[in-house]
Amino acid sequence: KYTSVAGLLKEKGYSTAFFHGGTNGTMGFDSYSKLVGFDHYYGRTEYNNEKDYDGKWGIRDEEFLQYTADILNKTKEPFIGALFTLSSHHPYFVPGRYANVFRKGSLPIQQSIMYTDHALRQFFKTARQMPWFENTLFVITADHTSEGYYPFYQSNVGQYAIPMLFYMPGQKDLKGNSGVVAQQTDIMPTVLGFLGYDRDYLAFGSDLFDSTSNAPRFSIHYISGLYGMMKEGWYIEYDGQKPTSLFDLKEAMLQTQH
């Protein structure tokens, strides 16, 4: 049994939907989303227009994000929607009409990231016209970095240094940057806390907006047989039997950025 933000909010009357433009069954997203409480899944099959297929991963981001906005606009409120984009994966597909619009960058992936940024920008242009926009909390994050240009993002620490953005139009309290160590498991309790969720639940993270909490701030990941944990300015690696290395995070970041 899994606790998810979709399953918990469904009990509060929320409509729930998961969106992924990839071929249905990819990474098990369709079956997993149902397992954790999403009532509806929208993928390449539901999109049902192969002229927007990129030939490799699924429906192109720009078109699929517009489709997502349209479906959400037809979804009974309140709702929670999760969207997993396609771009920024090899072979770094960029539609032909944008071949000379976005600069190449220093790595092939960078042009496809610019395309993803464009698709997201177009999504917000569309969503901004919809009645639910002003009252919606948007959470934007990534799974990990890929083919980093700067040395830091090629390190075991940097590969998992990703942005996590919380945005709600007109919400003045959500302004500024935080240097607190966080991880993806913090998203659910942060969202539930923001919404004023009033029931007990199980979570592996903590509410990032709760300044009164004594919960430890840490991040854990696993790569190439090593577990890594960042906490209180330190990064430690562990092979399952014993610690293998310990770094001062500030010193390590300075060394890998030059």
* Pick from 45, 87, 97: nearest CA to 65: 87
Question: Stretch 42-57: mean pLDDT, rounded?
Answer: 96
What local confidence, expressed as pLDDT, does residue 258 receive? Answer: 41
What local confidence, expressed as pLDDT, does residue 252 receive? Answer: 65
pTM of the model: 0.92
The DSSP symbol for 23 reads P
The amino acid sitting at 62 is E
Q: How many CA atoms lie within 13 A of 42 on its CB side?
A: 23
pLDDT band at 253 (very low <50, low <70, confident <90, very high): low
Higher pLDDT, residue 82 or 178: 82
What local confidence, expressed as pLDDT, does residue 257 receive? Answer: 46
Q: Going along the chain, which residue ranges are E strands?
A: 15-20, 40-42, 79-84, 138-141, 164-167, 218-223, 226-231, 234-238, 243-248
pLDDT tens, position by position, 189-237: 999 999 999 999 999 999 999 988 888 899 999 988 999 999 999 999 9
pLDDT tens, position by position, 70-83: 999 999 999 999 99
Exposure of 84 by Cβ count < 10 A (0-12 exposed, 13-18 middle, 19+ buried)?
A: middle
What local confidence, expressed as pLDDT, does residue 220 receive? Answer: 93
123 sits in which H/E element:
helix 109-127
* Pick from 150, 139, 161: nearest CA to 223: 161
Q: Give the alpha-carbon dihedral of 6, 191, 222, 255, to 10 degrees.
A: 160
Residue 143 burial (CB count, 10 A): 10
Tokens of 38: 């999403």
- Specify the 3-state DSSP secondary structure of 40: strand
